[in-house]
Amino acid sequence: MKVPTQLLRETIVVSDYEGSGSRGPKFGAQRTISALMQPTSRLVTDTDGNLVTVGIVMIIRPEDGPVAPRSKVVWGSQGYRAASGLFFPDSRRPTHYEAGLVALETS
């Protein structure tokens, strides 16, 4: 069973990470999706092997995912970087996608 849409009350903007180019990271076009955003505090190892503190867990429906690690996520006025991404219960038939988000520094 998929995560119910009535639980996905937040609107976020995602720019998917598409790899690294000669001028730095490349991102895809922005897409707007509905999500459940849950504050948390957990340590995870990101795709670069760094230990980071995830401040938000984002849950989205399967048709809106996945959100790859290193992707940019904007929720309200705050920017985040996806540190981890998982699908539940498995990759064949996910019920939802979950991504751990790390807040970006604002200047």
Instruction: Name the residue ranges covered by the structural domains of the chain.
Output: 5-103
Closest CA to 35 of 55, 71, 9, 16: 9
User: Which residue in 50, 59, 71, 69 sits closest to 96, CA to CA?
Assistant: 59
Half-sphere exposure of 64 (CA within 13 A, CB side): 24
What does the pLDDT read at residue 87?
78
CB 78 within 8 A of CB 18: no
What is residue 86's three-state secondary structure?
A: strand
Render each residue's pLDDT in the chain as its tens digit; 107 residues. 788 889 999 999 999 999 998 999 999 999 999 999 999 999 998 888 899 999 999 999 988 988 989 999 999 999 999 998 887 776 677 789 999 999 998 65
Determine the CATH number of domain 5-103. 2.40.10.370
The overall pTM is greater than 0.85: yes
